[in-house]
A and B are shown apart, each in its own frame.
Chain A
Amino acid sequence: MKKITGARAMHECLKLEGVNVVFGYPGAAICPFYDLLGEETVRHILVRQEQNAGHAANGFAQASGKVGVCVVTSGPGATNLVTAIATAYMDSIPMVAITGQVTSGLIGSDVFQEVDITGACEPFCKYSYLITDVRDIPRIFKEAFYIASTGRPGPVLIDIPMDVQLAELDFEYPDGVSIRGYKPKHKGNSKQVILAANVLAQAKTPVIVAGGGVHLSDARNQLRRLSEECGIPVANTMMGIGVLDDDHPNKLGMIGTHGTFLANSALHKADAVLLVGARVGDRAVAKPGQLAARAKIIHIDIDPAEIGKNMEAHIPIVGDAKAIIDELCDRLAPIKGKYETMTAKDDKPRVRKADAEEVGTFIEPRIFVKMLSKSMKDGSIITSDVGQNQIWTANAFAVNGGRLLTTGGMGTMGFGIPSAVGAKTASPDLDVVAICGDGSFQMSMNEIATIVQHNINVKIVLMNNHNLGMVRELQQKHYHGHLSQVSLAGSPDFIKLAEAFGIRAERIESMDDAQAAIDRMLTHNGPSLLECQVFPDEPTP
């Protein structure tokens, strides 16, 4: 067997795991790894701040269904990554984060750029490793990718001291893993599925609530079949957006604080609720106790700890949603009832609250997002930031077969652009558009340089209302209208900024120009920024 260095072994492991791109930022403690980057190795996308390497890996993972990988250095490189790791953890995104660490003999002595990153990330990391023996690299990489991608997916952190990267080992990659404390259960219990089918058959107003787990389990087709063959409408959480196409008659839309009238009404009237891969977060179900008192709750989740955590479940089913939904559909279809649940035809059109005349010189964000969605290729990807832009996008998203990538759990501002970089890298043939607010945009606008450097054809829509709109609205409603630190006066001229980065940019102020501007943006062969002037008092709902 040939001896190779730890750094070479890291590259070998990535290759053997089928990783063809990593997002990262170099520094002293990870230099042995960077020293070996070349044409034969994995492709590296240099971001402009480490947090964005994590968000890009997140977007890549969601778009590809594979594990996203990011690589950064020790100390501040690692701590900058913390928000991205927490974001991936909350939304159950498979990710492997590799951090350089100071030489192992110096750990604990507070040397330059030393930080206990495995300790720091412990509460929001699926698992973490600090490699102290170079011979452990193959096993740990194999385990890390396995843990990140199986069961309930999540981020796994590998911290590698510089001397371990430079030491030598006899490289042999293991075929499998053996972790006695980790045996995720994939197959659902048939007895529970039969119970669930019986409950749904007896129900009058059943509703399916689909969460992000449906996407993670790649169970969109199975869920649609269940809904169609059994006649049960589907509501979704923020992470479950897109499980049914926008014009599907069984689509109810998003539940929760910022959800639709239709979805929330149907859930309120439901006598049976089938939750699939949804963790009953507080923004989705504000009063879980009341819901469980009204309706029979069937909860499918691969993580047993999510069942019963936030809401009592009458019928828990632990396992992978895809096969369970298929089995449930087979059992329910012959015995299904005649349901009286609300469907898309019961929807009440939303009444605009903003002043109509004033809106004439602004972009109506919801109509715009719908227009944009319909102009994109089927299956395409929109990423969103956080704030009003996220809710407008969530409720108006209408790309057939497409995905909305957003941070439902953490609500991380600045996610839009870097996650779009990751998504476009995974799916170069699809349209990828990031929808940002002017607040979030300024948290990651430096990534336009990444887009330019690596020629990543990402489109950016900037909803500019010159304010931190959602906080402003909160202050108006709940803090007696006292507006505190929500004006973003001082922001740059975004068109000039984009041009300074060398990308195409355009500003629109009227819906009359929207369709043409969308078409110009999407057909332009290269990255592009479209700034939409939005009325500052445009409400969230």
Chain B
Amino acid sequence: MKQTLSVLVENKPGVLSKVSGLFSRRGFNIYSLAVGVTDDESVSRMTIVVDANDVVVEQVVKQLNKLIDVIKVKELNENTFLTRELALIKVKANASSRNEIVQIAQLYECKISDVSPTAMILETSGTTDKIDALEIMLKQYGILETMRTGAVALEKGKETI
């Protein structure tokens, strides 16, 4: 089962490797990990999606809390948080397929960020499920490459970590 953790860490060199190292060392599976600086420059926020049962997630949280550079860890409860992922998808597109792809792009609220004679790049943000669905639709035209950021998440309402 996928669970989303929001983690505040010190914004300094080596912290990302400490966190990712912990996952590989303890045999935890990371589904995705996204990191960026917060409004406080000395703090970064990580959104980590793990694929694990409750017992393992409890261990993940405890082991993360044990890292000295980790300031706070919160398990986000389903439905009470907002999650988004940014994706850039480069798909084969020639004169005959271009219109169809543009239609799909509109359907999925994508931006068309680059067009060339044989390919185009679709840019979209949304839930992981939405981007998965978009990929399925684009596969028939031939996806050349994909870049996804992994999920970023915040709790809804005025709750903070």
Complex: chain B residue closest to A179, CB-CB: B68
Complex: chain A residue closest to B21, CB-CB: A122
Interface hit among A81-89, A243-251, A302-310, A429-437: A302-310
Is A490's CB within 8 Å of the partner chain B? no
A127–B70 CA distance with the chains assembled, in angstroms: 12
Is A413's CB within 8 Å of the partner chain B? no
Interface hit among B31-39, B58-66, B110-118, B123-131: B58-66
Q: Closest CB-CB distance, B112 to chain A, in whole Å? A: 41
CB contacts (< 8 Å) of A126 on chain B: these are 68
Tell me if A181 and B59 are in contact (CB < 8 A). Answer: no
- Scan residues 167-184 of chain A and give those whose CB is less than 8 A from a CB of chain B: 179-182
Excluding A123-B21, A181-B68, 6 further A-B contacts by CB distance (< 8 Å) are A122-B18, A147-B68, A181-B70, A304-B65, A308-B58, A309-B62
Is B67's CB within 8 Å of the partner chain A? yes
Q: Closest CB-CB distance, A150 to chain B, in whole Å? A: 11
Of A179, A304, A305, which is in contact with the most chain B CB atoms at under 10 Å from its CB?
A305
CB contacts (< 8 Å) of B66 on chain A: these are 303-305
Tell me if A122 and B17 are in contact (CB < 8 A). Answer: yes
A304–B61 CA distance with the chains assembled, in angstroms: 10
- Scan residues 46-91 of chain B and give those whose CB is less than 8 A from a CB of chain A: 55, 58-59, 62-63, 65-71
Q: Please, what's the 1-or-0 string for B137-148, where 1 marks a CB less than 8 Å from any CB in chain A?
A: 000000000000
Please give the residue numbers on chain B whose beta carbons come within 8 Å of chain A beta carbons, in ascending order: 9-10, 14, 17-18, 21, 25, 55, 58-59, 62-63, 65-71
Partner of A305, one of B17, B59, B68: B59
CB contacts (< 8 Å) of A127 on chain B: these are 68
Is A118's CB within 8 Å of the partner chain B? yes
Tell me if A305 and B65 are in contact (CB < 8 A). Answer: yes
A303–B18 CA distance with the chains assembled, in angstroms: 19
A87–B9 CA distance with the chains assembled, in angstroms: 28
CB contacts (< 8 Å) of B10 on chain A: these are 180-181
Q: Closest CB-CB distance, B58 to chain A, in whole Å? A: 7
Of A118, A130, A304, which is in contact with the most chain B CB atoms at under 10 Å from its CB?
A304
Q: Closest CB-CB distance, B67 to chain A, in whole Å? A: 7
A182–B67 CA distance with the chains assembled, in angstroms: 8
Q: Closest CB-CB distance, A309 to chain B, in whole Å? A: 6
Q: Closest CB-CB distance, A101 to chain B, in whole Å? A: 14
Tell me if A308 and B71 are in contact (CB < 8 A). Answer: no
Complex: chain B residue closest to A118, CB-CB: B14
Q: Closest CB-CB distance, A484 to chain B, in whole Å? A: 31
15 inter-chain pairs at a CB distance below 8 angstroms, sorted by A residue, are: A119-B17, A122-B17, A123-B21, A127-B68, A130-B14, A179-B68, A180-B10, A180-B71, A181-B67, A181-B68, A181-B69, A182-B68, A304-B62, A308-B59, A308-B62
Complex: chain A residue closest to B72, CB-CB: A181
Tell me if B62 and A305 are in contact (CB < 8 A). Answer: yes
CB contacts (< 8 Å) of A303 on chain B: these are 66
The 9 closest A-B pairs by CB, nearest first: A305-B62, A181-B71, A182-B68, A127-B68, A305-B66, A123-B25, A181-B68, A181-B70, A180-B71
Q: Closest CB-CB distance, B24 to chain A, in whole Å? A: 9
With A147-B68, A181-B68, A181-B70 already in contact, the answer to whether A305 and B25 are too (CB < 8 A) is: no
CB contacts (< 8 Å) of B55 on chain A: these are 308
CB contacts (< 8 Å) of B70 on chain A: these are 181
CB contacts (< 8 Å) of B68 on chain A: these are 126-127, 147, 179, 181-182
Q: Closest CB-CB distance, B39 to chain A, in whole Å? A: 16
Complex: chain B residue closest to A130, CB-CB: B14
Q: Closest CB-CB distance, A152 to chain B, in whole Å? A: 8
CB contacts (< 8 Å) of B9 on chain A: these are 181
Complex: chain B residue closest to A129, CB-CB: B14
Complex: chain A residue closest to B18, CB-CB: A122
Q: Please, what's the 1-or-0 string for A288-320, where 1 marks a CB less than 8 Å from any CB in chain B?
A: 000000000000000111001100000000000
Q: Closest CB-CB distance, A336 to chain B, in whole Å? A: 32
Q: Closest CB-CB distance, B40 to chain A, in whole Å? A: 11
Complex: chain A residue closest to B24, CB-CB: A123
Complex: chain B residue closest to A143, CB-CB: B68
- Scan residues 92-143 of chain A and give those whose CB is less than 8 A from a CB of chain B: 118-119, 122-123, 126-127, 130
A122–B59 CA distance with the chains assembled, in angstroms: 19
Q: Closest CB-CB distance, A130 to chain B, in whole Å? A: 8
Complex: chain B residue closest to A304, CB-CB: B62
Complex: chain B residue closest to A132, CB-CB: B13
